[in-house]
Amino acid sequence: MQAVMLRDVEVMRPRTLDEALRLLDRAHREGVRLRPMAGCTDVLVDAHFGKALPERFLDVWGLRKELGGLRWTEAGLVIGATCTYAEALETPKFVAELPALAKAASQVGARQIQARGTFAGNVENASPAADAAPMLLALDAQVKLASLQGVRTVPLLNYWSGYRQTVRRPDELITAIVVPAAALGSQGQWFRKVGTRAYQAITKVGLASRLQWQGGKLVDVRLAAISMAATPKRCATLETYLKGRELATIDAAELRHAQAVDLQPIDDVRSNATYRAEVFARLVEQALRETHLATAH
């Protein structure tokens, strides 16, 4: 079989979203793979490593007028499918209302990657080591999908169906990621990635979280683990253990016990299970301390 080379690949360049959806629909009915491409920071790396290329790409980047930018609505913040990390970071309101997502965005690759990489691409790429996607998960974000059949909204909680898999149908396009209004400017947003260095480093282990305290008690807990499972993952057992507690009643051993129910990290080229588990537990402890301290003032 002849491998498809980059110079053989065709790019469909629709001028409107409507045209894009028609092209996807036709390709889907004819059984042809038509893969969307935005900033191409994942797509062209796949090509570089010789992963099987589809014969055709659908260029979403060219739809920036329709799908670009940030829009504040009653429902929340609509992050357009082609909105890049750099664009978001240059928007003071974004940084002010979503400080932990801004921190995650500012640590994706380095400036060159941030100029091209999109939030939507990060979500659809479905890497367990993604940085922005798990923070969006901790913010209760939703994925807006469009096709000729109509539009639907899927909470990120149900979006990743397995390792590098999503529930998006091949005839659907992500049009936006929506961060609900309740999460904007909310208390206790916290993110930290641990990699080999500060930039250009894939996360070995990380925590994207939202911890809301009231009267010294944790009233709302969202913990999303990075590089600890096959997908970015919310930690149901840990969250249940923590909810309603005061900082002083959180026991390190019980915390690690609950964590072990939710997360069974693996050994791989970037790190090993023991390191990941211990560092993750300490990230949870650090997040608890720091968000608690922030509300004590």
Partner 1 sequence: MSADHPALDPREAARPRVRIRVTVNGTAREIDVAPMQRLLDVLRNDLHLTGTKEGCGEGECGACSVLLAGRPVNSCLVPAVHADGQEITTIEGLAQHGAMHAVQKAFVKAGSAQCGICTPGMVVTAAWLVDSHKGQAVPEPEIRAHLAGNLCRCTGYGQIVEAVVDALQQQATEG
Ligand X SMILES: Cc1cc2nc3c(=O)[nH]c(=O)nc-3n(C[C@H](O)[C@H](O)[C@H](O)COP(=O)(O)OP(=O)(O)OC[C@H]3O[C@@H](n4cnc5c(N)ncnc54)[C@H](O)[C@@H]3O)c2cc1C
- Binding residues for ligand X, rule: CB under 6 A, are 35-43, 45, 60, 81, 108-109, 113, 116-118, 120-122, 124-125, 130-132, 173-174, 200, 202
Rounded CA-CA distance 49/28 in Å is 26
**Residue with the closest Cβ to ligand X?**
121
Rounded CA-CA distance 113/263 in Å is 29
Written as one letter, the residue type at 165 is Q
CB closer to ligand X, 126 vs 242: 126
Rounded CA-CA distance 81/78 in Å is 9
Cβ-count burial of 112 within 10 angstroms (0-12 exposed, 13-18 middle, 19+ buried)? exposed
SS3 state of residue 137: helix
Q: Does 198 bind partner 1 (CB under 8 A)?
A: yes
> What residue 13 binds from ligand X, partner 1, none (CB within 5 to 8 A, per partner kind)?
partner 1
Give the residue carrying structure tokens 């994925």: 143
CB closer to partner 1, 107 vs 271: 107
Q: Does 9 bind partner 1 (CB under 8 A)?
A: yes
> What residue 189 binds from partner 1, ligand X, none (CB within 5 to 8 A, per partner kind)?
none
- Residue 68 has phi, psi (to 5 degrees) of -90, 170
SS3 state of residue 178: strand
CB of 133 to ligand X, least distance (A): 7
> What residue 86 binds from ligand X, partner 1, none (CB within 5 to 8 A, per partner kind)?
partner 1
The sheet with strand 34-37 has its strands ordered as 10-12, 56-59, 34-37
Piece in contact with partner 1 (CB under 8 A), picked from 8-16, 69-77, 93-101, 271-279: 8-16
Q: Does 199 bind partner 1 (CB under 8 A)?
A: yes
Q: Does 110 bind partner 1 (CB under 8 A)?
A: yes
Residues in 83-102 at the binding interface with partner 1, rule: CB under 8 A: 86
> Which has the closest alpha carbon to 153: 171, 172, 135, 133?
172
Q: Does 13 bind partner 1 (CB under 8 A)?
A: yes
24-53 b/e (C-beta count within 10 Å ≥ 16 → b): bbebbeeeeebbbbbbbbbbeeebeeeeeb
Q: Does 26 bind partner 1 (CB under 8 A)?
A: no
CB of 128 to partner 1, least distance (A): 19
Piece in contact with partner 1 (CB under 8 A), picked from 58-66, 150-158, 267-275, 282-290: 58-66
> Which has the closest alpha carbon to 214: 288, 296, 289?
296
Residues in 200-229 at the binding interface with partner 1, rule: CB under 8 A: 200
CB of 88 to ligand X, least distance (A): 11
Binding site for partner 1 (CB under 8 A): 6-11, 13, 37, 40-41, 44-45, 47-49, 57, 59, 61-62, 86, 109-113, 115-116, 198-200
